[in-house]
Amino acid sequence: MSKTYRHIGLMVEALNGYGDKILNGISRYARQKTNWRIAFFDRERRELADLVANWQGDGIICTSSEARFAEAAAQRTIPVINVSGRHADPVFLNVIGDDVATGAMAAEFLLDRGFTRFAFLRRRDLSRFHADRGKGFATRLAEAGHKVETLSIGSAGDSELEAWLTGMERPFALLASTDRLASMAIEACWQTGIRVPEEAAVMGIGNYDQLCDLCSPSLSSLDMDMERRGYEAARWLDHILEGGSAPEGTQFIPPAFVAERRSTDVYAFDDKQVVTALRYIHDHAAQSIKVGNVVTATSISRRSLESRFNKLVGRTIHDEIWRAHFALATRLLSSSDLSLQSVAEQSGFRTASALVNLFRQRFNQTPKEFRIANRLIKPPRSTD
C-alpha cells in the first residue's frame, strides 16, 4: 500500500521567546496540508542531536543550536530545514533572518530620531547574527557620517556594561543585538542614573512581546517576522517533498518593522519646535493631516518651522507627513489581514483607491503586490 501522508518532524525550541512565533507560521502553512502528520519534539538540545540522527520521517524543521546537531543532520537523506540564525550551517537549508538588513533598519529608525551618537551591545561569542546585526548597523551609520561604540559582554557583564554606559556622551542611542541584552542595558541605565529615553534611547531586536512590555520603560524592538520565517520554512519543505528543487544558498527573511515603545519615545534634535512638529506628525500618522496642522501644533511661523525642519531633519514637513503615512500603511499590510480600505482608513489615506494610486507612485507596486511579497507568500513553482 502506497504512503499517503507526509511525516514532518518539528525540533523547534518553543520556549526561547521567539519559537512560538515560528511555530505559528509553520502551523499556518500546515493547515493547508491535509496529508501532513506533525510530530513535535520538546527535548533538551543534547537529546535533539541524538534524535535528528535516527528519527524516521519525511522531513524536519529545526532550530539548530550546536555543531553536533549539524553533524547528525548531515548524515540524513531527508530534507532538514533550519530556522535558527544562531547556528546556520551549510548542511541545512537555512531559512533565517536578514541580520545585516535588520541592523540597517534599526540605524535608519534611530537616525530619524535625530541622534548623532550611537552604541551597539552584543554578546561575546561566535554567533554569526550578533556580528551581522552590528555590521548592518555600523555600515548604515557610516553612510550617514557617524561612528558606533561597540561593547561585547560575557554572561556576567553587568559591571562592565554600567561602566561603559557611564562613559558615553549623552544623549545617545543604543541598539542591542537581542531583546535580552537591551533589557540589561535599560537596567544598567537605571542603576547608573541614565534616563531612558531622555538621555539614552534603547532598542532591542526580536520583539519578544512579554519581555519588551515588562521592561521599565517598555522596550522598543525590531520585529524579525518570525512567523513568516516558519511559514517560509514549511513552504520550502513542502516544495522539496513534492519533487521540487531546493533553493541555492541561505534564504534570508527581511525584517518587518520597529515596534515602538517608550524606550525610544524621544527626539534628539536640539530644537523644541522641530521636535514638537515631528511628534505631532507621528502621533497623527493614522489621520489625514496637512502642513498647516503641524504648524498650528507649534508656536512659530510656517516659514520659520519649515526652514528649521528642513535643516535638521533633511526633509520637508510635507515629505515627513507622507513618510509617516506610508510607514504605517506598509506595517499594516505586512502584519495584518485588514482590507485595503481598512488599511487606508487607519494610515491616513482615507480611501483604498488613494492608497493604491499613491502606493504605486512611491514603490512602483500595488499594496496587494507588496503584501504578497512581504507577508502572504506564494508557493514556489515546481520543477520537473
Q: Determine the average pLDDT of the residues in 327-347.
A: 91
How far apart are the C-alpha atoms of 258 and 178, rounded to whole Å?
13
Cβ atoms 224, 256 nearer than 8 A? yes
Query: 379 falls in which pLDDT band (50, 70, 90)?
Result: very low
Query: 125 falls in which pLDDT band (50, 70, 90)?
Result: confident
Does the pLDDT value for residue 380 go beyond 50?
no
Residues 6+ apart with CB under 8 A from 214: none
Residues 6+ apart with CB under 8 A from 203: 106, 109, 110, 173, 174, 175, 176, 182, 219, 220, 221, 222, 258, 263, 264
What was the pLDDT predicted at 223? 93
Radius of gyration of the chain (CA): 23
Q: Determine the average pLDDT of the residues in 336-355.
A: 94
pLDDT tens per residue, range 139-150: 999 999 999 999
Does the pLDDT value for residue 155 go beyond 90?
no
What was the pLDDT predicted at 276? 95
How far apart are the C-alpha atoms of 68 and 278, rounded to whole Å?
51
What was the pLDDT predicted at 1? 39
Better pLDDT: 48 or 106: 106
How far apart are the C-alpha atoms of 282 and 18, rounded to whole Å?
28
Does the pLDDT value for residue 69 go beyond 70?
yes
In this predicted structure, which of 153-162, 182-191, 319-328 has the lowest mean pLDDT? 153-162
pLDDT tens per residue, range 227-270: 999 999 999 999 999 999 988 889 999 998 999 999 999 999 98
Does the pLDDT value for residue 212 go beyond 60?
yes
pLDDT tens per residue, range 8-38: 999 887 656 677 889 999 999 999 999 999 9
Strand partners, 205: 222
- Which three three-digit cell numbers place residue 146? 557617524
How far apart are the C-alpha atoms of 36 and 187, rounded to whole Å?
45
At 60, phi and psi to the nearest 5?
Answer: -135, 140
Domains of the chain (ranges, CATH numbers):
6-96+226-255 (3.40.50.2300), 99-224+258-264 (3.40.50.2300), 272-374 (1.10.10.60)
